[in-house]
Amino acid sequence: MTKDRKLDHIQLAFDSQTGFAEQDQRFIYEPMLAAHPNDEENSFLFLGKMIRAPFWVSSMTGGTGVAEKINKNIAQACREFGFGMGLGSCRKILFDKTHWADFDMRDTIGPDQPLWANLGIAQIEKLLQEKNEKAIIDLVGGLRADGLIVHVNPLQEWFQPEGDHIERPPLETITHLMERIHIPLIVKEVGQGMGEDSLKRLLELPLAAIEFAAYGGTNFSNLELMREDPATQEMYQPFAFVGQTAYQMVKTVNRLLQQMGEPRCRQLIISGGVKSYLDGYHLTSLSQLPAVYGMASAVLKHATGDYRELQTYLKNQLKAFRLAQQYLKLNPEYDGT
């Protein structure tokens, strides 16, 4: 009732006041130029498939007791809402199919959404040394995946008590892999992002996409360091605060495009520290390359239980994203501070 609503307004007026310190300086709010969003979806081509939302569920889990349920919930959501999924590290199922069901998501996600397998650079390096690239081909083919994500994680491997020793620069291994097999590749970091030189070299390769996994989100190097003994933690802890944010990386890629012209890799997955739909909208709008955004930990939080919880979360995220598209423009004076 109108009377009740007006009473609510009086009671909430003081609590709803906003301060200048909380103002989101990334955007200019333009209320005069658009109607409310409708339910129409704006599909676009990404990774060779039509997706209905600029969203990506970044690689997370597999080979644990609850992984199959989590991945099935995520794959079902990707199918319903029309976005892509990167599997967690598939190392466990390279030569042992015990946990295959945790990763075998093609039937759940359907044929039309991107589904990508995932292996670490250390495993790729070892398989190439053994001239066993067939194991990679069989993995991607067996999962009916669209390609392979290579996660580059030198700090994680160094800090991990059971970690592998990386013998060659990852770029050399990736280049070697592309010479030996013809499978689409995405290259990503694992929570600290990449600097300008690394990004430039990757943009020069015919990759399907680069995923940032930038500083500010789940940091797998720091995660492994937390499993170490106290003396080792104390020695290496400063590395936990090294890296590049997603905003810094988008700005770096945009600057590199001005310098190098047309890159061979022309798609980005912006992840790492993306906490909300406004972060995703800001970063994908800022990018001069076609981009989607990923929110791994937020999705994982809602994917462990009943599917309806994840469904509701993603429905609300996408509804709010479309509202941002209607009314928010990038502030050209924003400098990241």
CB environment 58-80: b (16+ within 10 A), e (fewer) = bbbbbbeeebbebbbbbbbbbbb
- Partners of 149 in beta bridges: 118, 186
Q: Is residue 24 one of the residues assigned to a domain? A: no
Q: What is the CA radius of gyration of the chain?
A: 21
Q: Is residue 35 one of the residues assigned to a domain? A: no
pLDDT digits (tens, 9 = 90+) for 25-52: 999 999 999 999 987 778 999 999 999 9
pLDDT digits (tens, 9 = 90+) for 172-201: 999 999 999 999 999 999 889 999 999 999
pTM of the model: 0.91
pLDDT at 232 > cutoff 70: yes
CA proximity to 41, closest of 88, 80, 85: 80
pLDDT of residue 261: 86
Q: Is residue 286 one of the residues assigned to a domain? A: yes
pLDDT of residue 95: 94
Q: Is residue 38 one of the residues assigned to a domain? A: no
Q: What is the distance between the alpha carbons of residues 257 and 288, in angstroms, rounded to a whole number?
A: 8
Joined together, the tokens standing for residue 92 give 């466990």
In three-state form (DSSP H/G/I as H, E/B as E, the rest C), the secondary structure along the chain is CHHHHHHHHHHHCCCCCCCHHHCCCCEEECCCCCCCCCCCCCCEEECCEEECCCEEECCCCCCCCCHHHHHHHHHHHHHHHCCEEECCCCHHHCCCHHHHHHHCCHHHHCCCCCEEEEEEHHHHHHHHHCCCHHHHHHHHHHCCCCEEEEECCHHHHHHCCCCCCCCCCHHHHHHHHHHHCCCCEEEECCCCCCCHHHHHHHHCCCCCEEECCCECCCCHHHHHHCCCCHHHHHHHHHHHHCCCEHHHHHHHHHHHHHHHCCCCCCCEEECCCCCCHHHHHHHHHHCCCCEEEECHHHHHHHHCCCHHHHHHHHHHHHHHHHHHHHHEEECCCCCCC
Q: Is residue 253 one of the residues assigned to a domain? A: yes
Q: What's the pLDDT band for 15 if we cut at 50, 70, 90?
A: low
pLDDT of residue 49: 96
Q: Is residue 78 one of the residues assigned to a domain? A: yes
The number of beta carbons lying within 10 Å of the beta carbon of residue 105 is 25
Environment class of 30 (CB within 10 Å of its CB; exposed 0-12, middle 13-18, buried 19+): exposed
Q: Is residue 13 one of the residues assigned to a domain? A: no
Domain span at residue 213 reads 46-330
Task: Read off the CATH number of the domain in which 72 is found.
Answer: 3.20.20.70
Q: Is residue 3 one of the residues assigned to a domain? A: no
pLDDT of residue 59: 66
Count of structural domains, the chain? 1
Contact 153, 189 (CB under 8 A): yes
- The rounded percent of the chain whose pLDDT value lies above 90 is 70
